[in-house]
């Protein structure tokens, strides 16, 4: 099939169309030329196939993410995967799904004796309470007074909320615990109205970061590699 409005589009013009950056005359040409429109469709299909085949070229394999969740890799490998998760939404989402799957597959042991301390009923969560006061020193470099949550088993989480462009909120957190090393690599999951909005990994300083969040009520769950987890019940994102 020949171009109906010669000259036919160049490869560069087709590439711009694939990137949705084509000039108006290119868009008009594609609308009236079946030959060039077919070339664009073939190029788009090839690009999608290549993207599907190559998207994991620099991502950890699923088994590597599973090993990371249970703490098998070396400390250096853990840090490398942690850095990757900070910038790869696909792997962060895959890790979050893995954590949820493994949590659902883990049997819950019956208590051997009644406890005087009340615990949340669902899956052994430690419930973090919002503290009435916040110490002056919390997040390094924090500009305002953060929220502070505490659990009965010695974990404190500070959350600093900052408004950003577009009416959204940036969250910076820090987890402090008696067994601090056990929380390195733990997965933090933020949900709003039951929808998973963001994930982050607790680094070796106990800090984590989530950006561009809708200013809606949220809850935060933190699960570490050995299955221990805590829940920050619904709190306001923004004023």
Domain ranges of the chain: 11-54, 62-106+121-235
Decide which of 238 and 51 is more confident. 238
Q: Please choose, from the candidates 54, 85, 93, the residue with its C-alpha nearest in 3D space to the C-alpha of residue 68.
A: 85
| Fold assignment, 62-106+121-235 | Immunoglobulin-like (2.60.40)
pLDDT digit string (tens) for 106-131? 444 444 444 333 333 333 445 666 55
pLDDT tens-digit profile of 58-116?
A: 788 777 877 777 667 777 787 788 778 777 777 877 777 776 666 555 444 444 444 33
Distances (CA, A) of 126 to 71, 120, 150: 21, 7, 10
Q: Would you call 134 helix, strand, or coil by DSSP?
A: coil
């Amino acid at each position: 099939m020949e171009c109906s409005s010669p000259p036919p589009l160049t490869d560069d013009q087709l590439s711009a169309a694939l990137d949705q950056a084509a000039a108006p005359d290119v868009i008009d040409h594609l609308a009236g030329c079946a030959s060039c429109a077919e070339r664009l469709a073939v190029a788009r299909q090839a690009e999608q196939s290549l993207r599907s085949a190559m998207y994991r070229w620099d991502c950890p394999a699923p088994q590597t993410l599973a090993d990371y969740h249970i703490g098998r890799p070396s400390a250096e490998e853990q840090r490398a995967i942690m850095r990757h998760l900070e910038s790869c939404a696909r792997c962060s989402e895959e890790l979050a799904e893995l954590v949820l799957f493994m949590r659902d597959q883990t049997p819950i042991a019956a208590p051997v004796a009644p406890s005087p301390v009340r615990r949340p009923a669902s899956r052994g969560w430690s419930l973090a309470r919002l503290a009435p006061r916040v110490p002056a020193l919390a997040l390094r470099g924090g500009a305002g007074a953060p929220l502070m949550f505490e659990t009965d088993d010695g974990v404190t989480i500070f959350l600093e909320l900052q408004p950003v462009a577009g009416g959204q909120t940036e969250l910076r957190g820090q987890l402090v615990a008696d067994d601090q090393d056990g929380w390195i690599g733990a997965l933090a999951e933020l949900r709003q109205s039951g929808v998973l909005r963001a994930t982050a990994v607790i680094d070796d300083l106990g800090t984590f970061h989530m950006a561009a969040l809708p200013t809606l009520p949220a809850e935060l769950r933190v699960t570490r590699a050995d299955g221990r987890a805590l829940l920050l019940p619904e709190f306001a994102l923004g004023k």
